[in-house]
A = this chain, B = another copy of it.
Amino acid sequence: MGAVTTADRGERAPKQDRSRATRQRLLEAAVACLAEHGWAGSTVSVVAERAGVSRGAAQHHFPTREDLFTAAVEYVAEERSTAIRALFPDGAGDDRQAVVTALVDLYTGPLFRAALHLWVAASNEEPLRPRVTELEARVGRETHRIAVELLGADETRPGVRETVQGLLDMARGLGLANLLTDDAGRRDRVIAQWSQILDRILTD
């Protein structure tokens, strides 16, 4: 609010740092809140309180509820993308099962739970729908790029693109199966089998 006109570089920098830190706290609190309480229980006020930030400051960063929660899901998705790339700095080499496991992990934690609440709410709430549709497409494309890269998949070969897409659909379905119960045992067996199948298809 209000432009800083007289501050020198030395004063502005810490102010920007504080602002960035506040923003980040809000985004993390928003994802945790969505994952725990769903869309109906997630308001800007609840998130501001959780983040230890005033409601006014929260609204300065995110004017609307839609702004806050779509930004939050996008922020955490970017964090996760960075983290998964960091896990395999030289690509997957031959360990495709490790890559599949890491990809499926994207869909079984609090981020997926939060995103799922947002998707489902967007399916019935008009102001949210176009925002989430656009966000989902963007995050989906990035996840696909990561999968292709880490799996060493050659998408110029027929069928490879659809193979990777189906794998990511499976990962999403495994996330859904984990929503109400701990599905880790079954999931590990499915991952082991499908990693073998993928290995055959991609190295043919």
| B170 with A169: CB separation less than 8 A | yes
Chain B residues with Cβ below 8 Å from A36 are: 124
Of A133, A169, A174, A181, most B-chain CB atoms within 10 Å: A169
Against B, the Cβ 8 Å flags (1 = close, 0 = not) of A149-179 are 0000000000100110110111111111101
Against B, the Cβ 8 Å flags (1 = close, 0 = not) of A112-125 are 01001101111110
The reply to whether the CB of A87 lies closer than 8 angstroms to some CB of chain B is: no
Chain B residues with Cβ below 8 Å from A165 are: 186, 189-190
| A173 with B180: CB separation less than 8 A | no
| B170 with A166: CB separation less than 8 A | yes
Do most interface residues of chain A lie in helix, strand or loop, or is the interface mixed? helix
The reply to whether the CB of A132 lies closer than 8 angstroms to some CB of chain B is: yes
Considering the chains assembled together, what is the distance between the CA atoms of A129 and B181 in angstroms? 10
Copies of this chain, how many? 2
Chain B residues with Cβ below 8 Å from A124 are: 36-38, 41
Considering the chains assembled together, what is the distance between the CA atoms of A168 and B133 in angstroms? 24
A161 CB, nearest partner CB in chain B, Å: 8
The reply to whether the CB of A21 lies closer than 8 angstroms to some CB of chain B is: no
The reply to whether the CB of A201 lies closer than 8 angstroms to some CB of chain B is: yes
| B190 with A169: CB separation less than 8 A | yes
Chain B residues with Cβ below 8 Å from A41 are: 124
Considering the chains assembled together, what is the distance between the CA atoms of A94 and B129 in angstroms? 41
| A162 with B122: CB separation less than 8 A | no
| B166 with A176: CB separation less than 8 A | no
The reply to whether the CB of A13 lies closer than 8 angstroms to some CB of chain B is: no
Chain B residues with Cβ below 8 Å from A190 are: 162, 165-166, 169
Among A23-31, A56-64, A75-83, A192-200, which stretch is in contact with chain B? A192-200
Against B, the Cβ 8 Å flags (1 = close, 0 = not) of A127-143 are 00100110011001000
| B180 with A119: CB separation less than 8 A | yes
Considering the chains assembled together, what is the distance between the CA atoms of A19 and B186 in angstroms? 41
